[in-house]
């Protein structure tokens, strides 16, 4: 599936080819902190298909508990997280932050990883009072 996306301020724009079936939610504590939310939702690009159409990303390299390093790239103007990927050169798979994908309404996560650190209320989100607007 061909998709495109952008950050909140519009400084960053990108295109990629994704497999919609690869969309997932991650409940790990790094994703909670780095997304500023309860969990992160991502979709993976097909290798080598990510193209930055506009802007320049800022990158933070995080080291996981396992010692594995991941590049976290975000817009330097508005801070929107765009993707994570393996450090170094060569064709890469990018874990796009689903909230930046324009076609996100057509993509549903099919897996939840690191569920052991999920926030307790996440499974009961339907029970939380909801209004249509702010
Ligand atoms: Zn931005
Ligand atoms: Zn995670």
Bridge-based pairing state of the strands 13-17 and 51-54: antiparallel
Residue 56: nearest ligand to its CA? 1
| Whole-number Å distance between alpha carbons of 108 and 116 | 21
Predicted pLDDT at 64: 87
Give me the residue label for tokens 């339907």.
Answer: 126
Residues whose CB is under 5 A from ligand 1 (ion)? 7, 9, 11, 75, 77-78
Does the predicted model carry a pTM greater than 0.85? yes
Predicted pLDDT at 11: 98
pLDDT in tens, 62-114: 998 889 999 999 999 999 999 999 998 889 999 999 999 999 999 999 999 99
pLDDT band at 126 (very low <50, low <70, confident <90, very high): very high
pLDDT in tens, 11-43: 999 999 999 999 999 999 999 999 999 999 999
Predicted pLDDT at 65: 84
Instruction: Give percent of the chain with pLDDT exceeding 70.
Output: 100
């Amino acid at each position: 599936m061909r998709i495109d996306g952008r950050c909140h301020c519009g400084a960053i724009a990108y295109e990629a080819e994704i497999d919609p079936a690869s969309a997932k939610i991650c409940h790990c504590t790094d994703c909670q902190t780095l997304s500023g939310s309860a969990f992160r939702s991502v979709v993976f690009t097909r290798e080598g298909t990510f193209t930055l159409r506009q802007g320049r990303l800022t990158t933070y390299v995080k080291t996981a508990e396992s010692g594995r390093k991941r590049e976290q790239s975000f817009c330097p103007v508005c801070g929107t997280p765009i993707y994570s990927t393996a450090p170094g050169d060569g064709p890469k798979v990018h874990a796009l932050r689903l909230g930046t994908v324009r076609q996100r309404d057509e993509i549903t996560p099919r897996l939840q990883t690191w569920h052991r650190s999920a926030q307790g209320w996440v499974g009961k989100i339907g029970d939380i009072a909801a209004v249509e607007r702010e």
